[in-house]
Chain A
């Protein structure tokens, strides 16, 4: 059973960097059939996919255009985890942030989710 455990601060000041980490158990961040995503949810935007990282002989990323200039998703193979960094945050980045897996056998659906982290950006 795949489990994703999120960690990171719940309060970030405007213009600073939001940083979250997702520790994986039951799978490998280097899996050749999975990808590791960050998704956020807010009343104003609903569910919004931010990006993902995956390993297929080498690491690659896919990012949403809406955050592409501010986002970095990295994997740490030594700790079997991946992270989100979102720069220059504003109060509009206030949301519940989820890490999640998508995988080939489940049709690239988001099949496992972290518990969520409520992040508030203060002005």
Chain B
């Protein structure tokens, strides 16, 4: 199985300041079709996860522009340009290049 490792596990952020989360996979996420199936999800307290970013850098419908994704191969990053109060929650990376689908352990974003 592909192991997804996120850092940091906790990220206290000041409102209006940027935040960055890293995700590293145990093997390349480049699929034989040339695509890289790495996504980012947000889980607010008491809610199911919500898709933010797919295929490294594509924002899903309705996701604010302050969220962006980047990376390649085995190293990926989610950035929030200016954190707002509604961004509090746990963020997960997920790979869909191989079965079984696997998730990172989560990064908790909280306000200082």
Chain A contributes a number of interface residues (CB within 8 A of B) equal to: 23
Chain A residue nearest to B103 (CB atoms) is A47
Chain A residue nearest to B40 (CB atoms) is A109
Query: Chain B residues with Cβ under 8 A from A66's Cβ?
Result: 100
What 1/0 mask marks residues of chain A from 14 to 53 whose CB sits below 8 Å from any chain B CB?
Answer: 0000000000000000000000010000000011110000
Query: Chain B residues with Cβ under 8 A from A46's Cβ?
Result: 103, 105-106
Of residues 29 through 51 on chain B, the ones whose CB sits less than 8 Å from some CB of chain A are 35, 37, 39, 41, 48-51
Of residues 46 through 85 on chain A, the ones whose CB sits less than 8 Å from some CB of chain B are 46-49, 62, 64-66
Pairwise interchain contact A49-B48, C-beta atoms closer than 8 A: no
A62 to B101 CA separation, bound complex (whole angstroms): 10
A109 to B51 CA separation, bound complex (whole angstroms): 8
Pairwise interchain contact A64-B50, C-beta atoms closer than 8 A: no
Q: Which of B11-19, B71-79, B80-88, B91-99 contacts A (4 or more CB under 8 A)?
A: B91-99
Tally of A-B Cβ pairs under 8 angstroms: 62
What 1/0 mask marks residues of chain A from 90 to 120 whose CB sits below 8 Å from any chain B CB?
Answer: 0000000010101000111111111110000
How many B residues touch the partner, as a band?
20 to 34
Pairwise interchain contact A113-B48, C-beta atoms closer than 8 A: yes
Pairwise interchain contact A47-B100, C-beta atoms closer than 8 A: no
Pairwise interchain contact B49-A107, C-beta atoms closer than 8 A: no
A112 to B49 CA separation, bound complex (whole angstroms): 9
Chain B residue nearest to A116 (CB atoms) is B48
A11 to B90 CA separation, bound complex (whole angstroms): 27
A100 to B48 CA separation, bound complex (whole angstroms): 10
Q: A49-B103, A108-B37 given as contacts; is B50 within 8 A of A113 (CB)?
A: yes
Q: Which A-B residue pairs are the 4 nearest by beta carbons?
A: A107-B55, A109-B39, A113-B48, A109-B54
Chain A residues within CB distance 8 Å of chain B: 37, 46-49, 62, 64-66, 98, 100, 102, 106-116
Q: Could you write out 19 A-B pairs with CB less than 8 Å apart?
A: A37-B101, A46-B106, A47-B94, A47-B103, A48-B103, A49-B103, A62-B100, A64-B100, A102-B96, A107-B37, A107-B55, A107-B58, A108-B37, A110-B49, A111-B54, A111-B60, A112-B51, A113-B49, A115-B48
